[in-house]
Amino acid sequence: MHCPHCGSQKVHPRPWGRKVGAAIGGVAGGIGAWEATQAKEEVDTVTGSAVLSALAGATAGVLVGAKLGEVVDANILNLQYCLDCKKQFSI
């Protein structure tokens, strides 16, 4: 395989979907868990458990997001990155 922009053979797979999926999943999971806890408890007793819940939600979100991203990478994007001209392309 070679780069369609410059013809270089120094191309690497770019796990774009996985990273973005993990980031989105982590943020969404953390926010979702945080809000769920905030809604249930009084504000002055909430801090510890809300933080733990948010972290747990974020962790779960990252795992789910990364998994979804892997599927996107494998089936849809299949992005490659050229080390010479720094452009990315799909195959």
* Chain positions contacting Zn ion, by CB under 5 A: 3, 5-6, 8, 82, 84-85
CB count in 10 Å sphere of residue 66: 19
CB of 79 to Zn ion, least distance (A): 13
Query: Which lies closer to Zn ion via its Cβ, residue 8 or residue 47?
Result: 8
Query: Which lies closer to Zn ion via its Cβ, residue 12 or residue 40?
Result: 12
What Cα–Cα distance (Å) separates residue 3 from each residue in 15, 26, 59, 88?
17, 33, 36, 8
CB of 17 to Zn ion, least distance (A): 21
Query: Which lies closer to Zn ion via its Cβ, residue 8 or residue 49?
Result: 8
- Residues forming a β-bridge with 88: 81
CB of 82 to Zn ion, least distance (A): 3
CB of 11 to Zn ion, least distance (A): 7
How far is it, in rounded angstroms, from Cα 61 to Cα 18?
Answer: 12
CB 59 within 8 A of CB 23: no
**3-state SS, residue 14:** coil
Query: Which lies closer to Zn ion via its Cβ, residue 9 or residue 49?
Result: 9
